Every structure is written in structure tokens, then in C-alpha cells.
Structure 1
Amino acid sequence: KRQAAAARKEHIETWRAAAARHRYERWKTEREGELEEMAQSISQRIDF
């Protein structure tokens, strides 16, 4: 019974880490998009 609880706890930890990684990837993608838009608007203003 204790082994099952340990396995379940390990599974939860793994799931939580995967969820955190997924959230970070989505956040990073959104930020990169924003940075790209800012860079484009700045370059349009400077008019290279």
C-alpha cells in the first residue's frame, strides 16, 4: 500500500513538472511574439 502511495506521489510530481514546462513554453512563445511585434514597429519607425 505504501508503495502505491509513493508511485502515485511520483506520478503527480511528474505531471506537475510537465504542466509547468508546458506553461513556460506557452508563455515564452507569447513573449517572443510580442518582442517580434515590438521589433517590427520600431524598425518601421526608424525606417531602415
Structure 2
Amino acid sequence: MLYPVINEKRQIIDLNGIWNFKLEDDASPVDISKTTRHGISDGSSRFI
């Protein structure tokens, strides 16, 4: 039960981080793509 709660909180944090990066890296769409992919990969690994 604790695992899903932690995952949910981490997902929210990851989303916030991506949003912040998007705002900062407005002229680097490639960087945003890499960051998003990294976040998703981490989430999937944790879920499994």
C-alpha cells in the first residue's frame, strides 16, 4: 500500500520538475523531450 502512495507523490514531483524545465528551457525542445523520457523511464522502473 505504501508503494503506490510513494509512486503517486513521485509522479507529481516529476511532473512539477518537467513543468519547471519546460519554462526554463523554452528554446530547447530537444532537452524537454529527453527530460520527459527520463522521467517516464524512472516511473516505469519503479512501478515494476
TM-score tier after normalising by the smaller chain length: 0.5 to 0.7
Q: Which has the higher helix share?
A: 1
Aligned-residue offset at 1:38: 0.1
Is 1:20 aligned with 2:6? yes
TM-score, normalised to structure 1's length? 0.53
Computed over aligned residues only, the root mean square deviation of the Cα atoms, in angstroms, reads 0.7
The number of residues matched between the two structures is: 27
Gaps of 5+ in 1: 1-14, 44-48
Identity percentage of aligned residues: 0
Following superposition, which runs of at least 4 residues in structure 1 exceed 4 angstroms of deviation? Answer: none
Greater Rg by CA: 1
TM-score, normalised to structure 2's length? 0.53
